[in-house]
């Protein structure tokens, strides 16, 4: 049965880099490196899929800072490398990138990395074929609280519409959230945006995602019956 679903915005909780690596006798660092490769390959696939307009990826949560210092350093190193060496190719391919998360002065990034992240948000493309949101130092509750505080500071009424303009900015509501690696929870990812999202939880780990698995996810999504609270 084919349904009239739209997949404008897809979100990924990229779980299982560590388990992918340890099950192969590799280090967790190698797992994160493979995770980043899988992310970059999937972005290429999504950019060729004209039905998808936005893709959001949970890269690093506000809670992830409490991982062992070496692991945090590794992930931040991969991020810096990605921003310095790889992001240009995405821009050249008409893919706009946004960093969602707390990039304020009080955030724990080092100054150099923080400026690189802020510069990404300054780069706007004319007619992007895909917008990629990278959620880094991100927490869904934190985002809603920061948006509410902004409304209050601006003297605006706290309404759904006003909150959306602050939280979502140009975000579309999420149509589908995919979490790899078997856990069935949202872990503070895009809470507001996922109000009516469909969910898929896969048994495979993040580094194993590829074009074929993405096609399976789409098949499953387009066979769902979405009613948005109606009958």
Q: Is 11 helix (H, G, I), strand (E, B) or coil?
A: strand
Cβ proximity to ligand FPP: between 77 and 173 the closer is 77
Contact 93, 60 (CB under 8 A): no
Q: How far apart are CA 172 and CA 192, in angstroms?
A: 11
Cβ proximity to ligand FPP: between 95 and 163 the closer is 95
Cβ proximity to ligand FPP: between 147 and 177 the closer is 177
Enumerate the active-site residues. Answer: 15, 64
Contact 140, 189 (CB under 8 A): yes
Cβ proximity to ligand FPP: between 35 and 128 the closer is 35
Cβ proximity to ligand FPP: between 82 and 221 the closer is 82
**Nearest alpha-carbon partner for 114 in 143, 139, 89, 83:** 83
Q: How far is the CB of 31 from ligand FPP (least distance, A)?
A: 7
Distance between alpha carbon 210 and the CA centroid of its chain, in Å? 16
Q: How far is the CB of 155 from ligand FPP (least distance, A)?
A: 37
Q: How far is the CB of 210 from ligand FPP (least distance, A)?
A: 14
Q: How far is the CB of 17 from ligand FPP (least distance, A)?
A: 4
Q: What single string gives the DSSP state of each residue in 24-88?
A: TT--HHHHHHHHHHHHHHHHHHHHT-TT--EEEEEEEETTGGGS-HHHHHHHHHHHHHIIIIIHH
**Nearest alpha-carbon partner for 81 in 39, 123, 45, 53:** 39
Q: Which residue is nearest to ligand FPP (CB)?
A: 18
Q: Which residues bind ligand FPP (CB under 6 A)?
A: 14-19, 32, 35-36, 39, 59, 64, 75, 78-79, 82, 134
Contact 175, 8 (CB under 8 A): yes
Q: How far is the CB of 73 from ligand FPP (least distance, A)?
A: 12
* Beta strand extents in 81-129 (DSSP E only): 95-100
């Amino acid at each position: 049965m084919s349904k009239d679903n739209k997949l404008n915005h897809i979100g990924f909780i990229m779980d299982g880099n560590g388990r992918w690596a340890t099950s192969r006798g590799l280090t967790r660092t190698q797992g994160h490196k493979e995770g980043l490769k899988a992310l970059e390959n999937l972005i290429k696939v999504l950019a060729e899929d004209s039905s998808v307009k936005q893709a959001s990826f949970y890269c690093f949560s506000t809670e992830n800072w409490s991982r062992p210092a070496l692991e945090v350093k590794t992930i931040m190193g991969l991020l810096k490398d990605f921003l310095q060496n790889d992001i240009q190719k995405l821009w050249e391919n008409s893919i706009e990138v946004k960093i969602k998360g707390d990039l304020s002065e009080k955030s724990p990034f080092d100054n150099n990395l923080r400026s690189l992240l802020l510069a990404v948000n300054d780069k706007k493309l004319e007619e992007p074929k895909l917008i990629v949101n990278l959620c880094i130092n991100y927490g869904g509750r934190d985002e809603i609280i920061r948006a509410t505080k902004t409304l209050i500071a601006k003297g605006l009424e706290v309404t759904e519409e006003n909150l959306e303009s602050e939280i979502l900015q140009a975000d579309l509501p999420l149509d589908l959230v995919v979490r790899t690696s078997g856990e069935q929870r949202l872990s503070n990812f895009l809470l507001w945006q996922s109000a009516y999202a469909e969910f898929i939880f896969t048994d495979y780990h993040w580094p194993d995602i590829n074009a074929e698995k993405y096609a399976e996810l789409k098949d499953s999504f387009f066979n769902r019956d979405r009613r948005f609270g109606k009958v």
